[in-house]
Every structure is written in structure tokens, then in C-alpha cells.
Structure 1
Amino acid sequence: MTTKLFYFHDPMCSWCWGFTPTWSQLQQQLKLEFGTKLETQYVLGGLAPDSDVPMPQELQDTLQQYWKRIHNLLGTTFNFDFWQQCTPRRSTYPACRAVIAASNQGKEIAMIDGLQRAYYLRALNPSDTSTHIQLAEELGLDLDAFHDDIISSETEQELQNQIQLYKELSANGFPSLTLQNNNTLTQIPVDYKNASAMLDLIKQALSPSSQGQNYG
């Protein structure tokens, strides 16, 4: 039986950063409830394509308002020095490729966390290759392999494949969750404050009454 929870995200999505603590709680609860019977798959949605153009001031102001809103709603920490110390670009594909390159060395989740902390806490530009190399070094990756992978056609194809999967299975923005049980897809609404509420929805979707079959 194919049972999988897809987590659609972007490493430069501020709402994903705000969701991180609750997402971690949900993953722990899922592991306790289902063990290895429910697989979690991260999928990069590709928030913004490559661009070397500095972000317009209006958009910078809008994103800073998002940060303030998320902080007020969830208590999430943001370092606003980023907006003075960096030249922001509306370009998340490079960070997505860094995640894929790191995943080739078993460090997908670590790179996602590193990119988020670089952006939101350390005031480092997550669109810059220099940041990706710095994070790869901090994670102890093979830097030559990482550099080759981040610019490879295979990495670009994998990114496009993940973006397409997002469009097919969710396309509800970031973060979003889709549960696959055999051929049945169920959208799980993201609850930024309550992991247990999402767990209950997943359990309900996997229950015999919902699927007409016994789970586990």
C-alpha cells in the first residue's frame, strides 16, 4: 500500500519558517502513531524563478510586513537586519537547487534548516551561491560534488519535476500538505498552531471508514 504525506514548501517561504515548530511536532506525532507505515516526502514548489534583479522596495516592504504578521501570530523570530545588509532578490530557485544538491549527500533537511536560519536569523542572502557554499561547508558536505550538483542539468530537471508534482498534487501555496493513500489524495489543511488537529485529520483520512480498508 502506498501511503505518503507530501510536504510542499520553499526554503525562502516565510510562512514555512513560521510553520517549522508545528511541523516538527506533527512529524514526531506521526512517527509515534504510524512508525514507518507513513512516509513523508518533501517537495519543492519553486516560489520564484531565477532573477538577478534587486527586489523592488514595495515588495521588500510587503515581505517585511509578512514577517511582522507571522511574528505577531506565531512568535516566530526574524532578523530584520537582512533588509539593510543584503540586496534581496525575488529568486528562490537557487536555494531550491541547493536543497537538491545537499539531498544527494543525505542532507536535504539539514540544508532546508540551514537556508531558513541563514535567511531569517543570520541575515545571509539565500539567493546567493556564496551562501549555499558556506552552508554546505558548515554541514560538512563534499564541496566539489555540491558545486557540481547545484549547477547540473540533473538538478534543474529534478527541481522542475518537483514543481510539476506540486502543481499536480497541491498548488495551494506554501506550506501545504497532501496525503496519498493508494490512489486517494486528501488535502490536509495546515494548522500553524495545532499539530494534533492535523494528526486527527490524517488519522481520519486513513481510517477504515474513510478508505474502506484497514490501515496498518
Structure 2
Amino acid sequence: MTVLYYMHDPMCSWCWAFRPVWDDVRQQMPDSMEVKYLLGGLAPDSDLLMSAETRSMIRRHWQVIEKKVPGTRFNYDFWSRCDPRRSTYPACRAVIAAKNQNPMLEDAMIQAIQHAYYLNARNPSDDEILIDLAYSLSLDVSRFKNDLHGADTQAELMSEIRTASNMGCTGFPGLILEDRGAFRHIRIDYSDAGMMLQQLSSVQAL
């Protein structure tokens, strides 16, 4: 089967901007293609608060995205309500923990993290936020807590990061199509699902 790999991080702001078009791609892509998610892991675990310089840089980054991808919204209250840390691995492990309980909830956890972070000004670097999201998805919260920092979950995250890197992923979001043993990068478009669907169809027609 042909596989479309989606490389991402649940706390990647460009992945958030790509979300609406990515949903369209998934809904319209050929049934013969399987989608597999690979976590890229933007920032390792850290208890250090972001510096004022880093906070300012990310705020400016959000503003750039809002201009380049109309319709993308960010809740800037995050910067006054939360104590931001440059740490996305907890959110990545939350996605794995959810998927391991129910593969159908992998994308639901990604979306829940994105909504918490970008719309509701909640910090997905904090365990209590991730646990609350697990509860909202009706996951086994006790198991989720154990898995969130479990060795097996961390090992799976590092394996996905290595796989994405070995496939040539250099940024997020990323799309790579595996077809008949060959890997082909699919050019990302933040406004036009049709452009990416055309690329997928062209590869299959070869």
C-alpha cells in the first residue's frame, strides 16, 4: 500500500496553520493511500522558563503566520496567563499515549493540544493540561499518566524522530509519500489542498 507520512509536532505553529488544509487533503486523498503520523519533536524536555527574547521571537512568529496564512488564529493571552517553557516532548508523548490506547484518538489528541495551546491559552508543556485533555477524550487517565513519562513512550517518540530525520524531513509540517519503495517529498501549500492532491495523483500515475 502507498503510505503518506505526515511529519509534525503538536506544538508547531506552522502545523496549526496547516491544519485546515491537511484535513481537506486527508478527506479527499485516494482510499488506496494510508496516512501515518511521525512526530518530529521540536524541543526536548525542559523545566527552564523561556527567556523574554524567546517569548518575543515566538510571538513575532505567530504574527508572521497570521499574515501568510489568513484565517489562522492565535490567542496571545497565552503569554500572560502561562509560564512558557521551550518543551514539546511532553505533548508529543501525549499523542503517543493516546494512540496506544486508541489509534482513532491520535489525531483527536493532536487537535486537542492545538486548541488548548493556540485558542485557549493553556500550556501543553504542563502535565496537568495534558491529563485534562486525556480526560476530555475519555481515555483511561490512570494509564495515560503512567504512559506520559513511561520509558516505552519515550522510546517510541525517539524512534519516530529518527525515522522522520532518516526520511529527509527538515521541517514541519512535512509530507513524504512512500510508493513502491521510493520516497517522494510532497510540496506543502497552506491554502490549496488541490495542489497537494495533484502531486499525490501524479506520483501514483507513474
Extract structure 1 runs of 4+ deviating beyond 6 A.
Answer: none
C-alpha displacement at 1:150, in angstroms? 1.1
SS at 1:104 equivalent: helix
Aligned counterparts of 2:168 and 2:4: Cα–Cα separation in 1:
12
SS at 1:185 equivalent: strand
Which residue of structure 2 aligns with residue 23 of structure 1?
A: 22
Aligned counterparts of 1:182 and 1:53: Cα–Cα separation in 2:
45
Aligned counterparts of 2:185 and 2:73: Cα–Cα separation in 1:
28
Alignment of 1:155-194 (within 5 A): 155-194=153-192
C-alpha displacement at 1:183, in angstroms? 1.1
Alignment of 1:66-215 (within 5 A): 66-74=61-69, 75-106=71-102, 107-207=105-205, 210=206
Give the TM-score of the pair, scaled to structure 2: 0.96
Aligned counterparts of 2:52 and 2:201: Cα–Cα separation in 1:
45
- Amino acid of the structure 1 residue aligned with 2:167: L
- Amino acid of the structure 1 residue aligned with 2:119: L
Could you give the per-residue CA deviations for residues 117-160 of structure 1, whole angstroms, max 9, x where no partner exists?
00001111010000011101111111111111112111011001
C-alpha displacement at 1:105, in angstroms? 1.8
Could you give the per-residue CA deviations for residues 36-70 of structure 1, whole angstroms, max 9, x where no partner exists?
x1000011000010111011111111111111111
Aligned counterparts of 1:22 and 1:170: Cα–Cα separation in 2:
22
SS at 1:171 equivalent: coil
Which residue of structure 1 aligns with residue 2 of structure 2?
A: 3
Which residue of structure 2 aligns with residue 214 of structure 1?
A: none
- Amino acid of the structure 1 residue aligned with 2:66: H
C-alpha displacement at 1:187, in angstroms? 0.3
Which structure is larger by alpha-carbon Rg, 1 or 2? 1
Q: CA RMSD in A?
A: 0.8
Aligned counterparts of 1:73 and 1:45: Cα–Cα separation in 2:
23
Tell me if the contact between 1:101 and 1:150 (Cα under 8 Å) persists in the aligned partners: yes
C-alpha displacement at 1:181, in angstroms? 0.5
Which residue of structure 2 aligns with residue 38 of structure 1?
A: 33
How many matched pairs? 203
C-alpha displacement at 1:101, in angstroms? 0.4
Aligned counterparts of 1:16 and 1:173: Cα–Cα separation in 2:
10
Aligned counterparts of 1:134 and 1:123: Cα–Cα separation in 2:
14
Identity within the alignment, %: 46
C-alpha displacement at 1:171, in angstroms? 2.2
Which residue of structure 2 aligns with residue 58 of structure 1?
A: 53
Question: Structure 1 unaligned runs (5+)?
Answer: 211-216
C-alpha displacement at 1:204, in angstroms? 0.7
Which residue of structure 2 aligns with residue 213 of structure 1?
A: none
Tell me if the contact between 1:9 and 1:44 (Cα under 8 Å) persists in the aligned partners: yes
Question: Structure 2 unaligned runs (5+)?
Answer: none
Aligned counterparts of 1:150 and 1:78: Cα–Cα separation in 2:
26
